Structure formats: C-alpha cells, structure tokens
C-alpha cells in the first residue's frame, strides 16, 4: 500500500514515518512527486475540515490514497486561538524559522502578564485518509496533548523570548510546556515526542486503522 502524505514539511513527514513504521505502507510526500499543484485554500473552521479538504484535493489530483493532517495550537483564554490559523497567525511570510518565531512572539505578547494557571491549552492534530474513488474519507482521527504556554521569564532568551526553550521542535514547540514532563515539546527527543505528541497519537490511531483496512482487503481477496 502506497500512501501520499500531503505535506512538504520534512519535520512532519519524519515524525509520521517514524510513528507509522510498523504499518505495511510506503509513505511518500509531495516532495517525492514530479508533479506540481497549487495548494488548496484551507478555508475550513476546524482542523478536521481542513484535513479532509487537503486529503481529498491531493487524492483526486494524484489518484493515490492520500493522508493529510491539520494541526495547531488552541489556547483556552484566547478562545482557542491561534487554532486553524496557527501556521499563519502573525501574517509573516518567509523561511519557516522566521515565521515560527513571529507566531510565537505574537502569542507571547497577547498573553503578557498572565499567570501560568491562565496559560493552558493543547496541541491538536486531525488526520484524514482519502481514496480518490470514494466520496467520504476512509479514516478520520484526532490526537491531542495538553500543556501551557511559557511565561516570558521562563524563556531562555529574555531579548528573544519567542525562541522559548529547546531546539528539537518547530512551530510553537519551544513555548509549549508540558507540566507532566517538566519541559517544552522542543526539549523532548524525537522518540519522546513521538510517544506523547498530538501528531504521535493521531498517527498511531491512523496506523491501527490502516492495519484493519489491510486485513479487510486481504479477507475480500480470499
């Protein structure tokens, strides 16, 4: 079974491949195709809606099984912001690190002076698997991890607090603190992150569902 993951983000692809290593599937990304498509407009108001939109879009255009995810950060006191706008929260464009730091900076500014107990939120990852021959998604799953946003004085660099703590993640990882682990998700090793992250939870459930699909297909061929 070959599955296209609708991403060109190497970090995301690496995480998904590592987590789904036991699923009997060859996982490729948009970077592996000698094809270019305009990106779909992610105009849905939920992570699930955008995941299905992307999976269907690329499945139809490549005629391949396609898996897509939409993930981001929800902060309770900000009524779920940045939510589906997580990747483009600041409106900044450019290299990923510059955009990530701009997003982190804006979020930290909005939460300036708030106590740790008011800074709760979660990372969310919704995944969908679509078959170009079917109208509805084959699989939809969701994973989360609870935590809170660092305060300014908890960040390593007081001049550039948007850098947060840790060098192993991307996006909001450096400023997302998990109390139960005592560190940010950017301070986790790749193996640790895969075990506890929102994307890890979603990918493991997706892998489980893929195994069930494969068993059903094998049964139908007998």
Residue 221 has pLDDT above 80, yes or no: no
**Residue 89, strand partner residues:** none
Q: Tell the CATH topology of 2-221.
A: Maf protein (3.90.950)
Q: List the Cα angle 30/33/38 in 5-degree steps.
A: 55
The pLDDT of residue 218 is: 62
Section 156-160 average pLDDT: 92
- What was the pLDDT predicted at 219? 66
Q: Are 156 and 183 in contact (CB under 8 A)?
A: no
pLDDT of 222 strictly over 60: no
With 90 as the cut, is the pLDDT of residue 162 above it?
A: yes
Mean pLDDT of 13-39: 84
* pLDDT interval class at 212 (50, 70, 90): confident
d(C-alpha 68, C-alpha 117), whole Å:
33
Write out the catalytic residue numbers: 70
Contacts for 3 with CB less than 8 Å, ≥ 6 apart = 25, 26, 27, 28, 64, 65, 66, 67, 129, 210
Share of the chain above pLDDT 70, in %: 97
- Supply the pTM of this predicted model: 0.89
Kindly state the DSSP code that residue 112 receives in the 8-state scheme: T
Answer positive or negative: Cα dihedral of 142, 95, 90, 57: negative
Q: Which two tokens stand for residue 5?
A: 């993951």
User: Looking at the chain, which runs of residues are DSSP E strands?
Assistant: 2-5, 26-29, 65-75, 120-130, 139-149, 176-178, 183-184
3-state helix, strand, coil in the chain (%, to 5): 45, 20, 35
Going by pLDDT thresholds of 50, 70 and 90, the confidence category of residue 21 is: confident
Q: How many CB atoms lie within 10 A of CB 216?
A: 10
The confidence score (pLDDT) of residue 220 equals: 63
């Amino acid at each position: 079974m070959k599955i296209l993951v609708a991403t060109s983000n190497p970090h995301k692809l690496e995480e998904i491949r590592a987590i789904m290593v036991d699923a009997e599937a060859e996982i490729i990304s948009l970077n592996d195709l000698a094809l270019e498509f305009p990106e779909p407009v992610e105009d849905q108001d939920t992570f699930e809606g955008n995941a299905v939109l992307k999976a269907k879009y690329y499945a139809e255009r490549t005629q391949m099984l396609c898996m897509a995810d939409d993930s981001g950060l929800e902060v309770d006191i900000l009524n779920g912001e940045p939510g589906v706008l997580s990747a483009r929260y600041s409106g900044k464009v450019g290299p990923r690190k510059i955009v990530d730091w701009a997003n982190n900076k804006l979020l930290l500014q909005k939460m300036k002076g708030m106590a740790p107990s008011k800074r709760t939120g979660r990372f969310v990852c919704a995944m969908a698997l679509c078959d170009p021959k079917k109208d509805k998604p084959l699989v939809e799953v969701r994973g989360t991890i609870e935590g809170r946003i660092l305060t300014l004085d908890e960040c390593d660099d007081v001049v550039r607090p948007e850098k947060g703590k840790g060098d192993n993640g991307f996006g909001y990882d450096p400023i997302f603190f998990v109390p139960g682990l005592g560190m940010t998700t950017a301070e986790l090793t790749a193996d640790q992150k895969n075990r506890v992250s929102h994307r890890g939870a979603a990918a493991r459930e997706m892998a489980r569902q893929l195994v069930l699909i494969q068993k059903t297909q094998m049964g139908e061929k007998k």
